[in-house]
């Protein structure tokens, strides 16, 4: 049985397209049942519509509070019978109302090796701190920013001539690989949370 996945995005949604491509080629046992954005101008909404996927825009400015907006989003996700939520550049801090509606079923990708450099401008933070290695992290979402249990990480070397843009571009390549793999593993493997980590049971092929 395919898992019912909803995508939340605020912009172009390149990670959404990476997930959709993996689903389309059968690498992930899932179907996208809704692509939702808080911005009418989000290019990801247009991409989803062109792919024939259900779309919905719920502008956050039309709600009196963050919690009220999240209640509307949760209601839309429930109406779509979504089981998993994948954040793909969704530029909203989720309220407890949202997180508690889908415990351990919300995924996010962040352009750093968490717990280093949470929040905005992670690539800029990496360059300012002079780190030799950065990367990306796919994690389950909890009620703190960029904090939940880690599912998948990919390292990206930081080069001496890197700018924020060049580093971001190379990290994004790894995001497009790590995010589909993280979702695939969560849907096909037994797992549990130990501390801050998602621990997967050994597959049969691993002996």
Is 110 known to be catalytic? yes
| Beta strand 84-87 pairing with 106-110 | parallel
Q: Are 39 and 200 in contact (CB under 8 A)?
A: no
Of 99, 70, 105, 85, nearest in space to 8 by CA: 85
**Distance, C-alpha 205 to centroid of its chain:** 28
| Residue in 60, 69, 110, 176 annotated catalytic | 110
| Phi/psi of residue 116, nearest 5 degrees | -75, 140
* 38 token code pair: 């808080």
Find the distance separating the first CA and the last CA of the chain, reported in whole Å: 26
Q: What is the largest CA-CA distance in the chain?
A: 54
Distances from the Cα of 106 to the Cαs of 25, 40, 102, in angstroms?
A: 23, 23, 6
Catalytic residue ranges: 110
């Amino acid at each position: 049985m395919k898992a019912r996945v909803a995508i939340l995005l605020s912009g172009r949604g390149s990670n959404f397209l990476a997930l959709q491509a993996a689903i389309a080629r059968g690498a992930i046992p899932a179907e996208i049942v809704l692509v939702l954005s808080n911005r009418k101008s989000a290019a990801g909404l247009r991409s989803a519509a062109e792919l024939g996927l259900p779309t919905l825009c719920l502008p956050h400015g039309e709600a009196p509070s963050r919690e009220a907006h999240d209640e509307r989003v949760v209601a839309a996700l429930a109406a779509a019978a979504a089981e998993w939520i994948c954040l793909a550049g969704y530029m909203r801090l989720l309220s407890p109302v949202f997180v508690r509606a889908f415990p351990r079923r919300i995924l996010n990708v962040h352009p750093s090796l968490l717990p280093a450099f949470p929040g905005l401008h992670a690539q800029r933070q990496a360059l300012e701190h002079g780190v030799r290695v950065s990367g990306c992290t796919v994690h389950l979402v909890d009620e703190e920013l960029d904090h939940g249990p880690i599912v998948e990480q990919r390292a990206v070397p930081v080069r001496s001539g890197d700018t924020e843009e060049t580093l971001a571009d190379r990290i994004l390549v790894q995001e497009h690989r790590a995010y589909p793999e993280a979702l695939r593993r969560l849907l096909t493997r037994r797992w549990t949370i130990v501390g801050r980590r998602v621990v997967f049971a050994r597959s049969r092929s691993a002996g």
